[in-house]
Amino acid sequence: MYNNLFVILIYLSFVIDFLIIPIPSEASTKSLIESNQPKGLSRVSLMAIFLLNLLFYLYPLLSSVFQLISQATPIASSRWVYLGAIITFLGRVFSIVGGVVLRKKTGNVVSNSIFKWSRNPIALGMHMTLLGLIVFTGHWFLLVGLAFCIWNIHSKIKIEEQHLISKFGIQYIDYMHKTPRYL
C-alpha cells in the first residue's frame, strides 16, 4: 500500500512542474504544432508521439491506483523498491530545482546552480523519475517506453538548443562547450 502511495505522491509533485513553475519551451508539442516544426512531422504525428509518451509516463500511476483499489501486491522486491525510490526522489529534485532556477532567469543564459552540471536538468530529472518508478514498481517492460520518451525529448532539446543559439549566440555556444547536455 505504501509503495503505491509513494508513486501517487510523486505524480502529485508534478503539479509543481506543470502548474506552479511551468517553463515555456519553443520545442514543446504545443509550440511545434503551432509553428509547423520540425519539418516533415505533421500535427497528427506530433500528437501521436505526445500521446504515446503520455501513456508511458502515466502507466506507473495508473498501475499504482489499480493496485490500491484491487489490493494487489507490487511486483518489485524490496531492494529494487529502495533503489527505485532513491532514483525517483533524485529525479524530482533535479526537475524541481531546475524549474525554480530557470523561472528566476534574467534574460541571460542560465548557467548557475544545477545548470552548472547539466544544460537540461529538468529533462534529466523527468527521465530519472520515470526510470526510478520503473525500478520501484518492477514494470520492466516500460524500459522500452523510457527509451522512446528519451528519444522524443532529446529531439525536442536539439530544437530548443538551436533556438537558444539564435537567441544568445556565442554566450550559449560557450555554455554548450562547458556544460554537458545531460550529465
Per-residue pLDDT tens digits for 84-131 = 999 999 999 999 999 999 888 778 899 999 999 999 999 999 999 999
Q: Where are the domains of the chain?
A: 2-178
Cell digits of residue 2:
505504501
Give the whole-angstrom CA distance, residue 85 versus residue 89: 6
**Predicted TM-score of the model (pTM):** 0.81
Give the whole-angstrom CA distance, residue 180 versus residue 41: 28
- Extract the runs of DSSP E, i.e. beta strands, from 22-179: none
